[in-house]
Amino acid sequence: MSPVSEKKDGVALQIDSCSDSLQLKLSTESNCSLEKPSPSPWSRKRIALAAAASLLGLISIVLVIALPIVIRHRSNHQEIPDDDTTSDDDYSNYSNKENSPILALDNFPDPGLLHFNGTWLAYGTNTKRNDPNTTHVQVATSQDFKNWTKLDGYDAMPTLGGWESGVNHWAPDVFQRGDGKFVLYYSGQSKDWERHHCVGMAVSDGTDPIGPYIPEQNPLACPRNHGGAIDPSPFKDVDGKLYVTYKADGDSVGLGGDCNNGIEPLARVPIMLQEVKSDGVTRVGDPVQILDINKSDGPLVEAPNIIRTENGMYYLFFSSHCFTSPKYNVKYAYSKSLKGPYKRAHRALLKTGDFGLTSPGGATVSHDGTKMVFHANCGEKRCMYATDINIEPDSTITIAGL
């Protein structure tokens, strides 16, 4: 096709077949040798491709940063479904009354447990709240784990540390250190922090586990950002290192509701692990978290207790829900590492209805993993019960008759 031109006032308007374009010339001559303009290196197509590549790169960076956070969050807060939704097939022996725990002591909450020279000793929370005249630390003994005698009128810790008030001493527990003396851990109410507790320590005056115990002048743990600390329990690992596990009392600074932590957002209520020196009272480093609440726990977890079995498995016993609730229970989790992560069992070891019990909790297990004491409601009080337990090779734990 030949060019079509129209000339007006010295300007040639030419439709040129070799350029397929309209060219406006200031000359009357057409020239098919004129070259097309060079395309821009940033054409629309290339701009779109570059934008898409940049977006993909940004998404990759976000995923790299966010995915580990999401995984950790799910691991910490969605460990298992609600305990009460799983089958009780492995707990069929609970229907056998011969396996029922024994009612051992009246009005003896949060029992700690020690076996020394053939004698079992239990240590209990004070019997009256907000009463400065009540015994600070109760003690009871047994030779066979079935028949228990409370030392009425005896106070294992008759004096107090300078940091604590004279009321509300909870959940004592004891271990023997290398020099033959014993260390008592307990929850004491802070004198200058109304209604909040800290983990206290007291060392026996001699080598008798009954005491008396002389309190240290400073607490072992009192994390104000978590509302204080309660429910200490000592643990000695196979390498000789000593630890104290306790509850950071986050529900004490919650927004109200169930046990003061039933309104969203719930305060964190972690179980902590603190290493101590061989004297049992000097901290080594900072505490580490080994558990926190999940949806099956209600407002809190508390009353931690750790044992290690011969096959190297660590078991963490604890309670969840409010102690005044029928949902209060004894749970457990297990790990090949002392510091976790801990895998929760799919069913509470003890809950309301098991063996006719109401609100069982606050358990302590013997170091060999065969016996356990805990409390459950008995009228208006909380009584101590004693039982054997079985730990199966698959880490299932069940109650067994004494």
Residues 6+ apart with CB under 8 A from 243: 234, 235, 236, 237, 273, 274, 275, 276, 306, 338
CA–CA dist 138, 66 (Å, integer)? 50
**Residue 261 burial (CB < 10 Å; 0-12/13-18/19+)?**
buried
CA–CA dist 77, 74 (Å, integer)? 5
The closest alpha carbon to 312, from 330, 278, 289, 336, belongs to 336
CA–CA dist 150, 197 (Å, integer)? 26
The closest alpha carbon to 367, from 148, 146, 173, belongs to 173
The residues carrying an active-site annotation are 110, 302
DSSP assignment of 241-304 equals: -EEEEEEE-GGGGS-BSGGGB-SSSPPP--EEEEEE-TTSSSEEEEEEEEE---GGGTT-EEEE
Residues 6+ apart with CB under 8 A from 231: 110, 170, 171, 187, 246, 247, 302, 303, 304, 362
CA–CA dist 259, 269 (Å, integer)? 12
CA–CA dist 400, 86 (Å, integer)? 21
Contact 222, 228 (CB under 8 A): yes
Pull the structure tokens for residue 201: 């320590």
Angle at 364 between CA 352 and CA 351, to 5 degrees: 10
